[in-house]
Every structure is written in C-alpha cells, then in structure tokens.
Amino acid sequence: MDQRSKDNTALENIYSRKSVRLFEKRPVSEPDRAAILRAALEAPSPANMSLYTIIEITDQELKNRTASLCHGQAFIGEAPMVLLFAADFKKWNDFFHIYAPDSRTPGLGDMMLAWEDSYIAMQNAVTAA
C-alpha cells in the first residue's frame, strides 16, 4: 500500500474489513445501531432520491425465516442486528406521478437505479458495522 493509501482512513477501513459470521451473544448498542443506519442513509444517491427502504428485522421467527429464505444461512438468524435492504421503485414511480405526470414513465433503467441505490447503502452499513 502506498503512503497516500495509508493516510486515507476510508481505504484503510475497506482494506481491513473482514466478514464475520459468528456473532457475540449481545445486542448491538443503540449508538452503534444509529451509526450503522446513518452510514447507510449517507450513501450517495442520484438526486438524493434514496430509492431503497431499510427494514430492521427484530423478531426472532422472522430472522429464522429470512435465514431459511437466504439458502439456509443460519448466521442470519443468529445475528443481533438484521437489516433488509429493498430496492424501492415505488418511491421513484410516486415522484414521477406527483412532480412530472406528463413527462415519461419510469422504466427498467430506473429500477436498476433503485437496485444500485440499495447496494450502495448496504455496503455503507456493512462497512460501518
């Protein structure tokens, strides 16, 4: 790593990030939870539309069902904090109908934009965690 990279804390955090699938048996503190959610919400988004919705899953049965739906990844059910990021095309569609009803209808490219928004927000949350 060159000196410029060493002085860049964002790069340092990205390079040192590790995936953990064994979780401590303790809840995520409220300040940590708030920081993770804020990091997600600070993700860049075209026109600041934030075309995603974040759903926090707190119910253990829903965590277990989510783990099952994700190809049996049991660690999801064991995680102290589970966030579901959903591309929210409805936000974009509603915007068009309210503010530009005579312009164009949102299309597949706009849906892809919503997916990308959710991916970027998710990556920010993972990096913050």
Beta carbons of 63 and 76 less than 8 angstroms apart: yes
Residue 69 sits in which domain range?
28-34+44-128
Q: Is position 6 within any domain? A: no
Residue 70's pLDDT is 94
Burial degree of 108 (CB within 10 A; 0-12, 13-18, 19+): exposed
Tokens 């075209």, located at residue: 46
pLDDT band at 5 (very low <50, low <70, confident <90, very high): low
Q: Is position 50 within any domain? A: yes
CATH code, 72: 3.40.109.10
Average pLDDT over residues 99-112: 81
Q: Is position 4 within any domain? A: no
Residue 14's pLDDT is 85
Residue 119's pLDDT is 96
Beta carbons of 56 and 83 less than 8 angstroms apart: yes
Q: Is position 82 within any domain? A: yes
Instruction: Give me the number of domains the chain comprises.
Output: 1
Cβ-based neighbour number of residue 8 at 10 Å: 14
pLDDT digits (tens, 9 = 90+) for 70-103: 999 999 999 999 999 999 988 878 887 888 778 7
Q: Is position 20 within any domain? A: no
Q: Is position 18 within any domain? A: no
pLDDT digits (tens, 9 = 90+) for 12-49: 888 888 887 777 889 999 999 999 999 999 999 988 88
* Longest pairwise C-alpha distance within the chain: 54
Which helix (H) or strand (E) segment is 87 a member of? Answer: strand 82-87
